[in-house]
Amino acid sequence: MAIPIYKWFFLLYYCLHGSMGAVTSPSEAGFHPLYVSITELNHNMAEKSLEISCKIFTDDFEKAIFKTFQQKTDLSNPHNKAEADKLVSDYIKKHLLIKVDGKAVSMEFIGFERERDAVWSYFEVKQVNTAPKKIDIRNDLLYESYDSQINLMHVTVSGNRKSSKLNYPDTNAEFAF
């Protein structure tokens, strides 16, 4: 199976600027694909909510859903949108757990959409009335599928943005504001 062009760009960038030391080309690295997800959390003070979005490459996401639920799905063109919504929601809720100021919160699924070769899924946590002082995240998205998975997270509270990167098998990140 051919590797989509976006993965080549990620791989090339990672080889040139990542943690592979002096590796300067994919052939020197003993080529392997790069698996990455991006999770954005934003505290919306006006709405008193925490807005969460996850970007995962479609083919990787479909593989992870199959491994987790033994159910094939086509997220690019779902035949049954309600079933696809449930699979996306259930998968993310199982693999992305959030605590706000030490208290576990419940994410409400808003929906998902396809953007080129990736899927954005959206969630909301209501009644986050004050700006969080601490957000703890347990993130093991795609870990059942790839032992080279990288999960990037960006959290914004009161205009202050902080980021973290989890490399398999690390699962926990803490953001203090």
Asked whether residue 18 falls in the same domain as residue 85, the answer is no
Asked whether residue 109 falls in the same domain as residue 132, the answer is yes
Residues of the chain with pLDDT > 90: what percent? 81
Asked whether residue 171 falls in the same domain as residue 139, the answer is yes
CA–CA separation, 71 and 119 (whole Å): 18
Residue 20 has pLDDT above 90, yes or no: no
Asked whether residue 3 falls in the same domain as residue 90, the answer is no
Residue 23 has pLDDT above 90, yes or no: no
Number of compact structural domains in the chain: 2
Residue 116 has pLDDT above 50, yes or no: yes
Q: Residue 134 in contact with residue 102, Cβ under 8 Å? A: yes
Tens of pLDDT, residues 82-99: 999 999 999 999 999 999
CA–CA separation, 35 and 12 (whole Å): 13
CA–CA separation, 63 and 12 (whole Å): 23
Asked whether residue 25 falls in the same domain as residue 88, the answer is no
Asked whether residue 88 falls in the same domain as residue 110, the answer is yes
Asked whether residue 55 falls in the same domain as residue 135, the answer is yes
Asked whether residue 25 falls in the same domain as residue 39, the answer is no
Asked whether residue 127 falls in the same domain as residue 151, the answer is yes
Beta bridge partners of 109: 123
Asked whether residue 133 falls in the same domain as residue 48, the answer is yes
State the number of CA atoms in the 13 A half-sphere of 99 facing the CB.
Answer: 13
Beta bridge partners of 37: 56, 151
Average per-residue pLDDT in the chain? 87
Residue range of the domain that includes 8: 1-33
Q: Residue 60 in contact with residue 35, Cβ under 8 Å? A: yes
Tens of pLDDT, residues 33-67: 789 999 999 999 999 999 999 999 999 999 999 99
